[in-house]
């Protein structure tokens, strides 16, 4: 078969026209450069700088990190008190107990000492006033009666003052000369301000009827009290009990 020749038309100023064919659009594909492998970069730079002298290559090739937010420093905590050791606690407790015991024993000793001193003063006052009461002489009657009155207080002082004139008259009229001495004395009861004492007394009494004298034995109960003003122990009551 005879071949048909296609005539080419020349267009002025243009190229020969080809038969029209459907055109296909090609989609443009952009290739994004892939980041270099950090491991390969690390291997390439392994011989260039010592490991550990600077930041690792992995850190340099990594993406830029955001700046760290500065945190406010925590508020200063109050210093914890140091707890004392058990040894210090035990020693402190023992010291407190020793001080308390010493104070208790000291106060008790002081109380016992003052009470004993009060008893001794009460005994001495009872014995002295009893001896004064049975020791009266016509030659020294005023002085003897005055000495008895000075050692008296309370009811005994009032009674003695009321009968003092009669006693003086009887001593002078009978020419009495009596001398006494304490045989024994014992504390019946007593505290720091008052006491009861039992006194055994012998007295040699001379008078106009018995010029040679005779010995008399007396047991006298004496109540004594401490005078707040002078601090002296005085007889508040005196009575014969046998």
What's the helix, strand, coil split of the chain in %, to 5? 40, 20, 40
- Lowest-confidence region among 28-37, 170-179, 197-206: 28-37
In a domain? residue 165: yes
**pLDDT tens per residue, range 56-82:** 444 444 445 556 556 666 665 665 666
DSSP structural state of residue 114: H
pLDDT exceeds cutoff 80 at 38: no
**pLDDT tens per residue, range 86-142:** 677 667 777 777 676 666 556 665 555 788 899 999 999 999 999 999 999 999 999
Query: What is the total count of domains within the chain?
Result: 1
**pLDDT tens per residue, range 212-232:** 889 999 999 999 999 998 899
Range of the domain at 214: 102-240
Whether the CB-CB separation of 187 and 195 falls below 8 Å is answered with: yes
In a domain? residue 29: no
In a domain? residue 212: yes
Rounded-to-integer distance, Cα 119 and Cα 194, Å: 9
In a domain? residue 97: no
Question: What's the CATH number where 129 sits?
Answer: 3.10.450.230
In a domain? residue 35: no
Token pair 């020791």 in the structure block, residue: 135
In a domain? residue 80: no
Rounded-to-integer distance, Cα 175 and Cα 183, Å: 26
């Amino acid at each position: 078969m005879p071949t048909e020749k296609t005539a080419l038309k020349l267009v002025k100023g243009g190229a020969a026209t080809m038969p029209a064919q459907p055109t296909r659009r090609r989609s443009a594909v952009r290739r994004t450069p892939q980041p270099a492998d950090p491991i390969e970069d690390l291997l390439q730079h392994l011989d260039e700088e010592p490991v550990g002298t600077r930041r690792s290559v992995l850190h340099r090739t990594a993406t830029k990190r955001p700046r760290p937010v500065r945190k406010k420093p925590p508020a200063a905590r109050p210093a914890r008190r140091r707890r004392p050791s058990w040894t210090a606690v035990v020693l402190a407790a023992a010291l407190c107990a020793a001080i308390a015991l010493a104070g208790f024993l000291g106060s008790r000793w002081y109380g016992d000492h003052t009470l004993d001193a009060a008893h001794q003063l009460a005994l001495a006052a009872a014995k002295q006033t009893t001896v004064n009461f049975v020791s009266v002489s016509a030659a020294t009657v005023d002085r003897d009666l005055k000495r008895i009155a000075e050692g008296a207080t309370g009811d005994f002082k009032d009674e003695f003052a009321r009968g003092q004139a009669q006693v003086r008259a009887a001593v002078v009229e009978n020419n009495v000369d009596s001398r006494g001495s304490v045989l024994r004395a014992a504390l019946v009861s007593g505290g720091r301000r008052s006491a009861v004492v039992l006194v055994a007394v012998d007295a040699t009494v001379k008078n106009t009827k018995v010029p040679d004298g005779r010995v008399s034995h007396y047991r006298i109960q004496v109540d004594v009290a401490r005078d707040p003003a002078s601090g002296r122990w005085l007889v508040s009551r005196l009575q014969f009990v046998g």
